[in-house]
Amino acid sequence: MPAGTSTSTNTTTTPSAEGEFTGKTALVTGAASGIGLEVARRLAAAGASVVVADHNEAGAKDVADALTEAGGRAVAVRVDVTDPESVRRAVESGAETFGGLHLAVNNAGIAGASAPTGEYAVADWQRVIDTNLNGVFYSLRYELPRILASGGGAVVNMSSILGTNGFAGSPAYSAAKHAVVGLTKTAAVEYAAQGVRVNAVAPGFIDTPLLQGAEAQREHLISLHPQGRLGTAEEVAELTLFLLSDRASFVNGSYHLVDGGYAAR
């Protein structure tokens, strides 16, 4: 699916604005790999204290250790975003470690099975909805009070190009990602006056190891993007950090495509 994953823990990067997030604490779900890893990496490089949250506890620890060794501040926490109590513990633990919470990126997600809607297994539907939609709600449910208590901040929810378009064989994924956009807009309206902005990012198909199982479809997926290539985690992270920053202070409740023109066809 469009939002991919990667296993690299390279922490060498040039932040878009050095020190921009100094004094801020950021929580990133799905941060052990792919887009989440790149977002965590850039936040740490720009001065944020980063809570690296992932169901892969060992992977999260590797990332947190690498960020710390590179001069940043980071802690790993295990989270199962389908379990509200697990999410609550992760948010509370991260906020208590660094003395508050100001920023959050709700990135954790799965691709799920592929089948037509009339043949889609109910168990597969529930698994995708639990992770990609309920997981974002649970995250917001516990992040927002902490962000308010810290004096305000910003949240980015990771949707997808399939939050705008349908895609044959992906009814659960597309439904969940469409719903994330509605949830984002609702939370933005509710919390704007209290100093919290909530936006969504919509990656197209991103060139990460998640697509390794779809090599036969690779050329077709490339052809769907007018720019003639897949996107990168770095390109998604760049927009995400902008939306978290004060440079985007009047951007709220919006949905931003990073799709190489996919939705413009």
Active site residues: 173
Return the SS3 of 115.
Answer: coil
Q: Where are the alpha helices (DSSP H) in the chain?
A: 34-45, 57-69, 84-98, 122-129, 135-149, 171-191, 218-223, 233-244
Instruction: Tell me the β-bridge partners of 203.
Output: 258
Contact status, residue 187 vs residue 166, Cβ threshold 8 Å:
no
The values of phi and psi at residue 121, to 5°, are -65, 135
| Residue 18, C-beta contacts closer than 8 angstroms, at least 6 positions apart | 45, 46, 47
Directed axis angle between helix 34-45 and helix 233-244, to 10°? 50
- State how far the alpha carbon of 19 is from the alpha carbons of 24, 45, 86, 91, 243, in Å: 10, 8, 31, 23, 16
Cα(26)–Cα(13) distance, integer angstroms: 18
Residue from 15, 6, 5 nearest 70 by CA = 15
